[in-house]
Structure formats: C-alpha cells, structure tokens
Amino acid sequence: MARSSKQKLKSLYIAKILMEQTDEDNVMTAQDIIAALRSYDIPSDRKSIYDDIEALRVFGYDIELIPGKGGGYYISSRDFELPELKLLVDAVESSRLITAKKSRGLVKKLSKLTSSAQAKHLDRPVYHSQSRKALNESIYYNIDAIHYAINTGKQISFKYFKYNIRKKRVFRNNEKEYIRTPVAMCWNEDKYYLITYSSRHDKPFASYRVDRMVDVNALDIDTEKFNKKVFSISEYVKQNFGMFSGDTVKAKLSFDESLVSVVLDYFGSDVHLIDAGDGRFHVNVEVTASDVFLGWIFQFGDKAEILEPRNLRDAMNDLMLTVARVYK
C-alpha cells in the first residue's frame, strides 16, 4: 500500500495500536504511538496524534489519558473485561463438545479481544474434572447447518456413527443418510443433542448426539408438521435423562440429608422435599424408568432408595444382582 493511502488510514491504525497494546496498566505516550505508526510506514507528529485520538473518542472509542510523567493513553473499556474473558476461556477449554484443535483456535481469538499484556493472563494452567475432548472436527459446521435448517423450516440429512474398539467410526443405518425434521437443540451434561421428528417411525421423536453426526446438510424439503400443542420440548428433555428412552413413571424416592443439594441440582429447585426423620427426606417426582436413571440412583449406595413404584424397585434390584454377578 502506498504511503499516501496508509496516511488516510492513520486514525484506524492508531485505534488498532491502542487496542492491541494498551490497558490501564500499559499506556502509550504520543511519542510511543508515533514510533508504532512508523512500523507501519506511516509518518506522524504530536499534533496530528492528538487530533486523531479526539476523532476516535468522538466515534466511540473509550480512550483515557493519564497525565504527567509516566502517563499516556490507553483503552479504558472493552466489550469484554478480563475476568469475563477468563471465564469464556475456561468454558472453551473444559468443554467436551469442542475438539482440542478448535479449543486452541477459539482461545487465540478470545485473546485478541484484550491487550497483548492482558492476553498473557489467559494463558494459564486450569485443571478440569473432565478433560476428555470431542474427536469430531466438523461439529461447528454441523451446528451451523442444523440451526439454518431450523430457522428456515427445512429438513436435514446426516450420517450417524459410533466408535469401535479401534476408535474407528462405525456408521449406523447401513451407512445410509438419515432424513429428519430438526426440532430443537439441547445441551445436556456437556453434550449437544438434536431432537428430531419423523412420521415414518413408531417413535417419531428421537435424539442424536451432534458430535456423532457427519455430512449434515439442510435440504430443500420443508419440515414435517407435528402438533406442537401435544409435544413439549421441555417435557421431552426433562423425561429423557441422558437422552435414553424409557417410560415415564411417578416415583417416590428416599435420600440421605447429605444429598439435598444433589437432588435439587437433578430435579430442580421447585421439587418438594419431605422430612422423613432419621436424617432422610422423600421426594415425589416423575422419572424415566431407564438404566440411566437407575445408574444415577446406584451411585449413592445406601444413601438413596426407590420406595415406589414396585416395578421400579424390582428393576433396581435386577440391576444390582447383574452387577454383583460380574464382580463374583
């Protein structure tokens, strides 16, 4: 770019320099800015720097001046404060939905939202209880295609797979494409699921892990209509613990008082807790009679018990006997 052309963009370069190099602890004098502009082959002088900074302020940049010796100009506020960026970086790094490669790319982009000095604070060791990351690099594009199809009222096609013992993909449906009406996206236990509808199946509503979908495409086919007054997305999510199917039953459960917080996290803060004495409490809730729910109860040992219905107690007993036979 010719020097004259760059000169016309001088105020933009000043904004770029201040955004990248300054914060409340790292300021730049007019002379520092002139030196920085020189690296872009843009000559300048003090007076024009003052004029450009004033123009940037009028435009909306929050540029402050610390007067006196050791003072200078800096960007005093940004769209994201450093604590907010730290929180976002932690979320990206700990998310099992995002692959390690995508996580590194996102963190790099987030680091550009603050000064280079403050960006160093984003590169720090953070340890997470769940360090496993997704393996499917196409998940970003899957989510984008799904949302596009939902917003435009179109069906989608995709292939669905699981992993074998060699960590190789094994495609379901004889490697044929699934064609479904996308209903909604659901986030559950650090995994993304797509809820779909298809009138061609006995159970028209189904859920698919987005990280196990490939070749996701929005089709030029309108979505199938279903009775939205009958189907409730919130109820579907509530009743399908871990996205596994099962019959919904009314259950009476008993817990040790040490599990109050766990129960509130699982069933919601509106659940009614009944003091049963002897350091225990009861709840009456609707649950999905599935191995996922039984496994959740099982983890608490004698601190949790299914009181009713009888068939759910029997299912829990069968599960315990099966596990006991494995460990004999």
**Signed CA dihedral, 24, 25, 30, 32: sign only:** negative
How far apart CA 139 and CA 136 sit, in angstroms, is: 6
How far apart CA 150 and CA 143 sit, in angstroms, is: 11
HSE-up (13 A, CA, CB side) for residue 298: 17
pTM score: 0.60
Instruction: Establish if 128 belongs to a structural domain.
Output: no
Instruction: Establish if 287 belongs to a structural domain.
Output: yes
Domain boundary among 239, 260, 279: 239
How far apart CA 242 and CA 323 sit, in angstroms, is: 20
pLDDT at 196: 94
Four-point Cα dihedral 204, 234, 99, 133, nearest 10: -100
Residue with structure tokens 């259950």? 251
- Write the DSSP symbol of residue 75: E
How far apart CA 132 and CA 211 sit, in angstroms, is: 13
- Together in a domain, 13 and 29: yes
Domain hosting residue 112, numbered range: 82-122
Instruction: Establish if 106 belongs to a structural domain.
Output: yes
- Together in a domain, 226 and 259: no
Say whether 295 sits in a helix, a strand or coil: helix
Determine the average pLDDT of the residues in 111-131: 76
Instruction: Establish if 132 belongs to a structural domain.
Output: no
309: preceding bond cis by omega (within 30 degrees): yes
pLDDT category, 325, cuts 50, 70, 90?
A: very high
Domain boundary among 188, 206, 239: 239
- Together in a domain, 257 and 308: yes
- Together in a domain, 155 and 209: yes
pLDDT category, 131, cuts 50, 70, 90?
A: low
- Together in a domain, 192 and 143: yes
DSSP string, 8-38: HTHHHHHHHHHHHH-BTTB-B-HHHHHHHHH
- Together in a domain, 99 and 66: no
- Together in a domain, 155 and 93: no
How far apart CA 115 and CA 105 sit, in angstroms, is: 18
Give the C-alpha distances (Å, rounded to integers) separating 143 from 69, 165, 185, 189, 223.
53, 27, 9, 17, 17
Q: Is the pLDDT at 1 greater than 80, yes or no?
A: no
- Together in a domain, 234 and 260: no
- Together in a domain, 268 and 290: yes
Instruction: Establish if 127 belongs to a structural domain.
Output: no
Instruction: Establish if 203 belongs to a structural domain.
Output: yes
pLDDT at 242: 56
Domain boundary among 239, 273, 292: 239
User: Is pLDDT larger for residue 185 or for residue 252?
Assistant: 252
Helix (H) or strand (E) holding 89: helix 82-94
- Together in a domain, 214 and 196: yes
Q: Is the pLDDT at 298 greater than 90, yes or no?
A: yes
- Together in a domain, 218 and 274: no
Instruction: Establish if 52 belongs to a structural domain.
Output: yes
Give the C-alpha distances (Å, rounded to integers) separating 146 from 61, 86, 236, 241.
37, 29, 19, 23
Please tell me which of 197-211, 276-290, 298-312 the model is most confident about, judged by mean pLDDT.
Answer: 298-312
Give the model confidence (pLDDT) of 187-214 as tens digits: 877 778 899 999 998 889 999 988 889 9
- Our count of domains for the chain comes to 4
How far apart CA 70 and CA 63 sit, in angstroms, is: 17
The CATH number covering residue 260 comes to 3.30.70.240
Q: What percent of the chain has pLDDT over 90?
A: 58
Instruction: Establish if 200 belongs to a structural domain.
Output: yes
- Together in a domain, 232 and 261: no
